[in-house]
């Protein structure tokens, strides 16, 4: 397989958008954590604590997603440097590592989405139970 300077450059826009999406998720979680923290200060509910623990796991996953995304971008640039310097074999190896980093990042993203969906389903169940209680009254 031939690899040129443009091959790793193709990932730049993809990685930039992925990192932007990860940052947006992180900011949304930060806002949610602050709101739950304030609610927990006034009422020490166990469900709030469970939500906070779920958010803690998600924040750690997003941190790892960002880390591997940035590593992938860094390796793309390093690959381009090696290709520019005429070190094609080294460039191919580094590009492969960049792709692996991107795969790890996307895998972590999938796990974080799964946890997020589970948390939303728990909240929807709680809402349904509250609605049933209201209807029973």
For residue 55, what pLDDT is reported? Answer: 87
Question: What's the CA gap between 137 and 134, in Å, rounded?
Answer: 5
Instruction: Give the lowest-confidence range in 20-24, 85-89, 99-103, 117-121.
Output: 117-121
Question: What's the CA gap between 15 and 72, in Å, rounded?
Answer: 8
For residue 20, what pLDDT is reported? Answer: 93
Is 31:47 a contact under the CB 8 Å cutoff? Answer: no
How distant is the alpha carbon of residue 34 from its chain centre?
A: 19
For residue 66, what pLDDT is reported? Answer: 95
With H, G, I as helix, E, B as strand and everything else as coil, classify residue 24.
helix
| Short-list 33, 31, 68, 23, CA closest to 54 | 33
How distant is the alpha carbon of residue 127 from its chain centre?
A: 27
Residue 34 or residue 133, greater confidence = 34
What integer is the mean pLDDT of 12-30? 90
List of residues 6+ apart from 59 with CB closer than 8 A: 26, 29, 30, 33
Is 75:105 a contact under the CB 8 Å cutoff? Answer: no
pLDDT tops 70 at residue 12: yes
pLDDT tops 90 at residue 36: no
Q: What pLDDT band is residue 21 in, cutting at 50, 70 and 90?
A: very high
User: Of all residues in the chain, what percent carry a pLDDT higher than 70?
Assistant: 92
| Short-list 93, 71, 70, CA closest to 83 | 93
For residue 45, what pLDDT is reported? Answer: 67
pLDDT digit string, tens, across residues 53-93: 888 899 999 999 999 999 999 999 999 999 999 999 999 99
Is 83:4 a contact under the CB 8 Å cutoff? Answer: yes
């Amino acid at each position: 397989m031939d690899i040129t300077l443009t091959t790793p450059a193709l990932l730049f826009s993809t990685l930039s958008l992925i990192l932007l999406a990860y940052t947006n998720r992180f900011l949304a979680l930060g806002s949610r954590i602050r709101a739950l923290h304030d609610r927990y200060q006034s009422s020490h509910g166990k469900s709030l604590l469970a939500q906070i623990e779920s958010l803690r796991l998600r924040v750690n996953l997003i941190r790892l997603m960002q880390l591997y995304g940035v590593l992938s971008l860094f390796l793309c640039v390093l690959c381009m440097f090696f290709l520019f310097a005429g070190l094609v074999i080294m460039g191919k190896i580094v590009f492969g590592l960049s792709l692996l980093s991107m795969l790890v990042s996307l895998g972590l993203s999938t796990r974080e989405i799964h946890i997020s969906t589970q948390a939303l389903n728990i909240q929807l169940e709680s809402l349904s139970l509250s609605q049933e209680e209201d209807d029973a009254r």
